[in-house]
Structure 1
Amino acid sequence: MTEGPGSSQSMKKTIGHRGVDPTGETTYKKTTSSALKGAIQLGIAHTVGSLSQKAERDVLMQDFYVVESIFFPSEGSNLTPAHHHGDFRFKTYAPIAFRYFRELFGIRPDDYLYSLCNDPLIELSNPGASGSIFYVTSDDEFIIKTVQHKEAEFLQKLLPGYFMNLNQNKRTLLPKFYGLYCVQAGGKNIRIVAMNNLLPRSVPMHLKYDLKGSTCKRRASPKEREKSVPTYKDLDFIQDMPEGIQLEPDNYNALSKTIQRDCLLLQSFKIMDYSLLVGIHNSDQASRERGAVTPDHRRPQAQKALYSTAMEAIQGEAKGKGTLETEDQWGGIPARNCKGERILVYIGIIDILQSYRFIKKIEHSWKALVHDGDTVSVHRPGFYAERFQRFMCSTVFKKTRVQLGRPDLLPQTDPLAGSSSEFPATNLPNSSPGSTGMTSSSPPQRYLHTSSLS
């Protein structure tokens, strides 16, 4: 499992535990990405298979604290297959509880197994500054992310409350955790979580933001801007979209209620420093670019998991408490930008495994000495939740001003689609570009050409 020649002296660069060896392959705690992916798939295949042999039952309190462990020698054993990686041990945390979570979201064991283990995991090339490694399944359904020991420990403590919240409300923007695992190799513990994928690769994102509601140094760095798909921040959003993202009134109200409910839960667990990840697909720009670049005509696959798209997460509020009936596989929330262009918005709350511990209190104290204490991103949970909600519901998302007699419709198919029969219609009721109160001056635009997106 160890990377061999990729010792600490020969690493080209390291961010946290993530590095790159002389061959150019990503490493994590000196384990190559290919070896880690192989161990993850072998381990999950075994644990899901063995779990299917156990009778289904109600989740008990002790189930949240169970840890199962299996050793995978390279030569194989009576329980495990032979493999070409080094020896490793695979741990599964709270398997019964996570099985319940997956069932709650309609994920069948064979679908979970097929998504994670049938095809090689795809490493995301733009992982950010956290030092984590991200993998996505080939069907775009799940994300595998490495997490630090404290984050994994906090998730374990969070599980009973997480369980109660999901029972009460499946429609949420909070991360949906489907499994917590640990690969032990070379004397190191590599902890990973399986979770929902917010940004499908088959839908090109023209803009991406990580928003906290803070303005203290919340601007993308020059290095970040050089990336093919930069992740911009709060000050960038304020500059780019002074009019915010315009939502149809019902969707705005539903989204606001969802954010309010999620923030209340996060505050109750003293969770903070989370972000709202916002991906924007510009339908009008995609239409203009269609003749200049080769579009991605892959149809977004139907999600295996229920309530997994941004539209589903809020539609329970928008359309009552009945069963969601939608055939829109694009899953984004229809909206308009400040230029009146039609966009689809993909959102979710990320990075919730941060509690307001002593180190965060110290970090806020010294930042507040230099900056206005109310603008720094690290703040006490109650204030953080209030500021986050206020920023999202007043600066980022705004209610479209309806102009009677001017109903505009979103296209019946996304401009990337090849035929009108492939995608159903999505309506934007009674809104118009002229009704948003926009100024004539256009802010700087950061839209990327879709040819640069993978």
Structure 2
Amino acid sequence: FGFWLSYPTATALKGAIQLGIGYAVGNLSSKPDRDVLMQDFSVVESIFLPSEGSNLTPAHHYPDFRLKTYAPLAFRYFRELFGIKPDDYLYSMCNEPLIELSNPGASSSWFYLTSDDEFIIKTVQHKEAEFLQKLLPGYYMNLNQNPRTLLPKFYGLYCIQCSGVTVRVVVMNNVLPRAIKMHYKYDLKGSSYKRRATRKERIKSSPTFKDLDFHEMHEGLHFDPDTYSALMKTLQRDCRVLESFKIMDYSLLLGIHVIDRKPLVRESRCDSRRGQKVLYSTALESIQGNTKAPEPVADDDTLGGIPAKHKDENLLIFLGIIDILQSYRFIKKVEHSWKALVHDGDTVSVHRPSFYADRFLKFMGTTVFKKIHHLRGASSRRKRSSFYVLKSASQEFLSPLKEDKKEEKKAQSMDNLDGNCNTKSNCRVLSLYTMCEQSCVFVCCSEARRASSSTIALDDPQPAPSGSLSYSELGVYLV
């Protein structure tokens, strides 16, 4: 009974998290900058913060609590890599109360959002926190090679022990900005077993749908070829990194904003003190090559969304890979084996990392994201259709001449091959086929030198001529 009386309220817990992070970051500012060493990844600093304060800690209005800060120097390096200044980080974390978010997933994690829309604070289990700390050296190496990634950006790992309750939290980037309305949200894994939003989730004002829902609600999101290529290359690179760490059961969090013809209406934004605060934090930045340390760009109406299309709708896409702290440990192997007994083992979400990565990429590259084929494929079809339309039109136009002037025109064509024609446009007739068998084909003299080595196609054929035309006015090109 005494335990429940001392159990911290949600407000007290959020306040302790903010106070603890503020103290840890402020205390770290007194330490000089230096290179990150291997032992820095395993460091855990602990400090007790009584409510009445101490020589080292400030007084506060929350219950007494203990703060543990994991790998503080390593996480300071990660924040610097993404251009986060200590005072900006403190302002985001501590200026206003945290906003509690709902959790659509199966985990029991709590999510908090900073008032400036920049950072997510997520509670993690002991095993997940332990796994993240082991992951840090490889994570450090990957970020040095490739800061542009759709993987979560980790900015801090902390533990709060308050009134007998232990809460571990990780600070990450926010994938879906509140400043733009998300008309659709998806949590996608590439599996089909129980991958449908529950009835309870569907009645929410902003539900998060899953893989089977995507099949029913969207026929794929279409991108221009360059954007599609950059997106899939980023996903492939990230999945191979996760596979190398033996990580599976991750998801792609996907937000879709439908652009109206009206100006984009933005929701309220609590903090407009700064523009873009974190480098490589938006979806568009995360897939654009390997440019080093760009200057922060001004905040705009798109907030870094990736342009896409669905049918006749113009979209902005926001996305990121989430839930990467699930390794293929013994318990996950047992879970996969058990589910495979009652269902197709290849469709369940828990699977060995290599299979999971391949299935994830195949689903994203063929079902969710698609390439707009508006150049080569359509152009070649137009070329073929243009030739047949023009050929039939020229045959129809020349049919009266076939019977009366066949021999005369054949002689003229042979003479004109060696000389210039007398038309006003000074066109040279390159070739004239037998009129009863082939269509007339002409090439202007300006193109005659290239006609022997190249193929010229007319993509948008003109209507068939309705009256008598001179040879120079018949706009038919050699295909």
TM-score bin (small chain): 0.7 to 0.9
Matched residue, 1:367: 339
Runs of 4+ in 1 over 3 A off after TM superposition: 2-6, 125-129, 287-290, 297-301, 320-329
Structure 1 residue 341: Cα displacement = 0.3
2:139 aligned with 1:162: yes
* Corresponding residue for residue 264 of structure 1: 240
Which amino acid in structure 2 is aligned with residue 355 of structure 1?
Answer: S
**1:312 is the counterpart of 2:289:** no
Q: Give the Å deviation of 1:326.
A: 5.1
CA distance in structure 2 between the aligned counterparts of 1:362 and 1:388, rounded to whole angstroms: 21
Q: Residues 401-420 of structure 1, C-alpha deviation per residue, up to 9 Å, x if partnerless?
A: 2259x9xxxxxxxxxxxxxx
* Rg (Cα) greater in structure: 2
Alignment of 1:227 onto 2:204:
yes
1:66 to 2:43 alignment:
yes
CA distance in 2, matches of 1:343, 1:391: 20
Whole-angstrom distance in 2 between the partners of 1:245 and 1:218? 19
Q: Which residue of 2 aligns with 1:355?
A: 327
Deviation at 1:325, TM superposition (A): 7.6
Equivalent residue number for residue 29 of structure 2: 52
**Per-residue deviation at 1:309?**
0.4
Other structure's SS at 1:239 match: helix
* Offset from partner CA, 1:363-418 (integer Å, 9 cap, x none): 111111121111111100000001001111111000112259x9xxxxxxxxxxxx
Distance of 1:352 and 1:341 partners within structure 2:
32
CA contact (8 A) 2:275 2:297 kept: no
CA contact (8 A) 2:276 2:299 kept: no
- Distance apart, 1:296 and its partner CA: 2.6
Consecutive unaligned residues of structure 1, counting only runs of 5 or more, are 7-29, 407-454
Q: Does the residue aligned with 2:171 lie in a helix, a strand or coil? A: strand
Specify the alignment match of 1:109 in structure 2: 86
Could you tell me whether the CA contact under 8 Å between 2:279 and 2:296 is conserved in 1? Answer: no
In the aligned structure 1, how far is the partner of 2:187 from the partner of 2:143? 25
Alignment of 1:187 onto 2:164? yes
Residues 127 and 133, structure 1, Cα contact 8 Å, conserved in 2: no
Per the TM alignment, residue 187 of structure 1 is displaced from its structure 2 partner at its CA by 2.2
Any idea what SS the aligned residue of 2:287 has? helix
Q: Which amino acid aligns with 2:234?
A: T
Structure ranking higher in helix proportion:
2
CA distance in 2, matches of 1:327, 1:315: 17
Higher RCO (CA < 8 A, seq sep 6+)? 1
* Alpha-carbon distance in structure 2 between the residues aligned to 1:114 and 1:324: 21
CA contact (8 A) 1:141 1:303 kept: no
Secondary structure, in 3 states, of the residue corresponding to 1:348? strand
1:126 Cα shift? 4.7
1:209 match: 186
Structure 1 43/127 Cα, relative in aligned 2: closer, same or farther at 3 Å?
farther
Aligned to 1:143: 120
Equivalent residue pairs, number: 372
The TM-score normalised by the length of structure 1 is 0.78
For residue 87 of structure 1, what is the amino acid of its counterpart?
D
- Structure 2 residue aligned with 1:383: 355
Tell me the CA shift for residue 202 of structure 1.
Answer: 0.8
Q: Which amino acid aligns with 1:256?
A: M
The alpha carbon displacement at 1:85 in A equals 1.2
Spell out, residue by residue over 1:48-99, the C-alpha distance to the aligned partner (whole angstroms, 9 max, x if none). 1111111000000000011111111111111112112111001100000000
Match of 1:393 in 2: 365
- Structure-2-length-normalised TM-score: 0.74
Residue by residue over 1:299-340, the C-alpha shift from the partner in whole angstroms, topping out at 9 and shown as x without a partner, is: 9762311000000000126xx678478556311100011x22
Counterparts of 1:403 and 1:125, CA distance in 2: 43
Assess if the C-alpha contact under 8 Å between 1:3 and 1:31 holds in 2: no
Distance 1:143 1:48 in 2: 17
Q: Residue 41 of structure 1 aligns to a residue in which SS? A: helix
TM-superposed CA distance for 1:215, in Å, is: 0.8
Separation of aligned partners in 1, 2:50 and 2:294: 47
Distance 1:254 1:201 in 2: 25
2:251 counterpart (270, 275, 282): 275
Give the 3-state SS of the residue equivalent to 2:54 in structure 1: coil
Residue 130 of structure 2 corresponds to 153
CA distance in 2, matches of 1:264, 1:368: 25
The DSSP-based 3-state class of the residue aligned with 2:289 is helix
For residues 292 and 162 of structure 2, the distance between their equivalents in structure 1, rounded to whole angstroms, comes to 47
* Matches of 1:309 and 1:289, distance apart in 2: 18
Q: Which amino acid aligns with 2:278?
A: A
1:297 Cα deviation from its structure 2 partner: 6.0
Stretches of structure 2 lacking an aligned partner (at least 5 in a row): 379-479
For each residue in 1:8-46, what CA deviation from the matched residue of structure 2 results, as whole angstroms up to 9, or x when unmatched?
A: xxxxxxxxxxxxxxxxxxxxxx53221111111111111
Q: Residue 108 of structure 2 aligns to which amino acid in structure 1?
A: G
TM-superposition CA deviations, 1:86-133 (whole Å, max 9, x none)? 110011000000000000000011110111011111111455432111
Alignment correspondent of 2:20 = 43
- AA aligned to 1:263 is C
